[in-house]
């Protein structure tokens, strides 16, 4: 036949397929041999290999040329800089004077005494201006000891860490705190959460949705509310926010004898609170056990209408309803942004937490705030001075406390440059998901150092001659065998996170 038999066609197809496979295999072998041949003449030293790729030799001056090195030194320096803040590079931040050992920036009694005593304004939050910010490290007390580990730290604290016994005298009847030799003990008596703060928060969480990220504000007060203070609570609460009352007069029928007040007096006080809450347009959510919860409305449509019934307090005529701090208390209700419907959230619906932390607020997004748009908002968020943020973290951290930052290498290197001048020891490491994740981790440990008694008495400017540096025996029993500058760097390893007294601060998620 002209076209041949089917068997001949099958043989021809097999021959062509075999030829194609052999050809491809041969090319693969050829390219492999060529590649191996190109790498047989390897450079004899690091300089030759760097020259071959036209790199700057000076950048690798500290890198070992031994190919059998156990671990390579990673270059975490950023090569495309961004501006985090305008603070110049800090080489070494000095300690503050010992008189600042108990300094709290926005609650400094010395600064507070300069303000008006009317309505207790001098006791309010008064933060330092930019020119008043301290650029120094707050020293720990001279005899500071490593705190007790959890859960003992819930019940005990060293007296030398908080060398004041005034509270144990002032609150002796309520049995909040007792001095027992070289330590404080917290019996838990006299408070509304004797089982600890965690259990107390769990109790609240059963009444309102604390864990789903939907709540913007929830204010918990124990006592000390009359009408004007509740109006101030209302001003601070965001639309739909909650107010929790957990002290007198709540559950007065059970506790009135222990509070050393008459049942009639406590009932009258609770009735007054209920009345003010109604006038503020709050809804009582629940009263269960020792807790009562009220909720602020989502908008003020019904509240404005209710002024026909409740003449006081009236709606404020303030020119700036967005004022936050340093505002005189007024006997009027701060108005919420206007809405078109009774179910609409005043100002717009915000994202749930934690997405809310990085989202543009709805009022800015809609152009409701004059002079501020989404671009301006994001730009302002990037202007934080990271040096002062780190100094505040250092003030809050106890000696040998641990901080964990998560961010890009570029940001972490900037942070590490500053913390190196703050007596912190740190190490950048890969993300737990692996080295290919662009987000890295910086684990930092605040080294142990304290002010000295001599300096405390003299009140003179502190320098390193008055500083004790090193680690406590509990943290590093072999300190005397080490160089001072090493300071037990092993504490930086991730296992340190499991220690009972370690606190975690995440650069994106805040204090954990």
- Residues 6+ away with beta carbon under 8 Å from 351: 359
Alpha carbons 199 and 221: distance in angstroms, whole number: 17
| More confident: 240 or 118 | 240
Matching residue, tokens 């370690």: 502
396-412 mean pLDDT: 93
Question: How far apart are alpha carbons 461 and 451 in whole angstroms?
Answer: 11
Residue 79 clears pLDDT 60, i.e. is over it:
no
Q: Choose among 300, 293, 299, 297: nearest CA to 209.
A: 293
Question: Mean of the pLDDT values across residues 55-68?
Answer: 38
pLDDT at 456 over 60: no
Give residue for tokens 């505040």.
392
Alpha carbons 414 and 349: distance in angstroms, whole number: 36
Q: What is the DSSP letter of 87?
A: P
- Please indicate whether residue 313 or residue 61 has the higher confidence score (pLDDT): 313
Mean predicted lDDT score pLDDT of the chain: 77
Average pLDDT over every residue of 61-81: 43
Mean pLDDT of 395-411: 93
Instruction: Report the C-alpha dihedral over residues 108, 111, 115, 120, rounded to 10 degrees.
Output: 20
Which candidate, 485, 498, 476, 459, places its Cα nearest to that of 97? 459
**Helices and strands (H, E) in the chain, number of each type:** 14, 16
In whole angstroms, give the CA distance from residue 161 to residue 37. Answer: 68
Residue 213 pLDDT grade (very low, low, confident, very high; cuts 50, 70, 90): very high
Q: What is the pLDDT of residue 355?
A: 93
Q: How many CB atoms lie within 10 A of CB 432?
A: 10
The pLDDT of residue 436 is 92
User: Is the pLDDT reported for residue 7 higher than 70?
Assistant: no
Contact assessment for residue 203 and residue 244, using Cβ atoms and an 8 Å cutoff: no
- Select the more confidently predicted residue: 234 or 330: 234
Range of weakest confidence among 354-368, 384-398, 463-477:
463-477
Q: Average pLDDT for residues 65-86, to the nearest whole number?
A: 44
Residue 174 has pLDDT above 60, yes or no: yes
Q: Residues, the chain, total?
A: 512
- Collect all residues with Cβ–Cβ distance below 8 Å to 468 and sequence separation of at least 6: 142, 449, 450, 452
> What is the model's pLDDT at position 191?
56
pLDDT score, position 50: 33
Q: Is 265 helix (H, G, I), strand (E, B) or coil?
A: helix
DSSP codes, 325-374: SS----SEEPPPPP-SSTTSPTT-PPPPTTGGGTSPPHHHHTT-STT--H
Q: When comparing pLDDT for 403 and 487, which is higher?
A: 403
Q: For residue 294, what are the β-bridge partners?
A: 243, 284
Cβ-Cβ contacts under 8 Å for 356 (sequence gap 6 or more): 213, 216, 350
Tell me what pLDDT residue 64 has: 40
Please report which residue ranges of 241-342 form alpha helices under DSSP H: 252-255, 263-279, 301-305
Counting residues of the chain whose pLDDT is more than 70, the rounded percentage is: 72
Q: DSSP letters along 394-437, please?
A: HHHSPTT-EEEEEEEHHHHHHHHHHHGGGTEEEEEE-BTTBTT-
Among 218, 278, 283, 280, residue whose Cα is nearest residue 244:
218
The pLDDT score that the predictor gives to residue 269 is: 92
Residue 27 pLDDT level (bands cut at 50, 70, 90): confident
- If one compares 148 and 2, the residue with the highest pLDDT of the two is 148
Any idea which of 22-36, 149-163, 291-305 has the lowest mean pLDDT? Answer: 22-36
Instruction: Look at residue 75 in the predicted model and tell me its pLDDT.
Output: 54
What's the pLDDT band for 479 if we cut at 50, 70, 90? very low
CA distance 477 to 482: 10
Rg of the chain over CA atoms, in angstroms? 33
Distance CA 429, CA 406 (A): 10
Mean pLDDT of 81-94: 59
């Amino acid at each position: 036949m002209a076209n041949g038999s089917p068997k001949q066609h099958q043989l021809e197809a097999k021959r062509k397929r075999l030829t194609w496979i052999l050809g491809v295999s041969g090319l693969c072998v050829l390219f492999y041999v060529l590649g191996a041949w190109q790498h047989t003449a390897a450079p004899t030293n690091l300089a030759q290999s760097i020259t071959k790729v036209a790199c700057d030799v000076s950048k690798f001056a500290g890198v070992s040329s031994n190919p059998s090195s156990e671990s390579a030194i990673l270059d975490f320096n950023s090569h495309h800089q961004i501006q985090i803040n305008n603070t110049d590079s800090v080489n070494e931040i000095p300690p503050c004077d010992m008189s600042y050992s108990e300094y709290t920036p926005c609650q400094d009694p010395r600064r507070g005494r300069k303000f008006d005593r009317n309505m207790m304004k001098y006791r309010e939050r008064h933060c330092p201006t930019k020119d008043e910010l301290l650029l120094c490290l707050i020293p720990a007390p001279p005899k500071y000891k490593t705190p007790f580990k959890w859960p003992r730290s819930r019940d005990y604290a060293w007296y030398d860490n908080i060398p004041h016994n005034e509270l144990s005298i002032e609150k002796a009847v309520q049995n909040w705190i007792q001095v027992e030799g070289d330590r404080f003990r917290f019996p838990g008596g006299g408070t509304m959460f004797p089982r600890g703060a965690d259990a107390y928060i769990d109790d609240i969480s059963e009444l309102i949705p604390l864990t789903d990220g939907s709540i913007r504000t929830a204010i918990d007060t124990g006592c000390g509310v009359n009408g004007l203070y509740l109006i101030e609570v209302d001003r601070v609460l965001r639309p739909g926010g909650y107010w929790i009352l957990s002290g007198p007069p709540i559950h007065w029928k059970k506790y009135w004898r222990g509070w050393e007040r008459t049942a009639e007096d406590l009932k009258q006080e609770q009735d007054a609170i209920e009345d003010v809450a109604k006038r503020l347009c709050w809804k009582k959510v629940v009263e269960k056990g020792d807790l009562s919860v009220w909720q602020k409305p989502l908008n003020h449509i019904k509240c404005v209408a209710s002024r026909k019934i409740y003449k006081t307090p009236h709606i404020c005529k303030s020119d700036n309803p967005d004022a936050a701090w340093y505002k005189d208390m007024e006997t009027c209700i701060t108005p919420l942004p206007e809405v078109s419907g009774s179910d609409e959230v005043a100002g717009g619906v915000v994202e749930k937490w934690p997405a809310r932390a990085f989202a543009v607020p709805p009022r800015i997004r809609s152009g409701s705030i004059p002079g501020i748009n989404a671009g301006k908002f994001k730009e302002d968020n990037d202007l934080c001075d990271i040096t002062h943020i780190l100094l505040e973290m250092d003030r809050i951290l106890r000696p040998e406390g641990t901080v964990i930052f998560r961010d890009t290498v570029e940001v972490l290197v900037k942070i590490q440059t500053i913390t190196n001048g703050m007596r912190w020891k740190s190490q950048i490491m890969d993300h737990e998901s692996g080295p290919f994740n662009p987000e890295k981790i910086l684990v930092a440990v605040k080294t142990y150092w304290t002010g000295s008694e001599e300096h405390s008495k003299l009140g003179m400017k502190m320098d390193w001659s008055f500083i004790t540096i090193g680690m406590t025996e509990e943290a590093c029993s072999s300190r005397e065998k080490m160089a001072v500058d090493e300071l037990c760097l092993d504490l930086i390893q991730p296992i340190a996170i499991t220690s009972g007294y370690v606190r975690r601060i995440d650069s994106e998620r805040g204090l954990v």
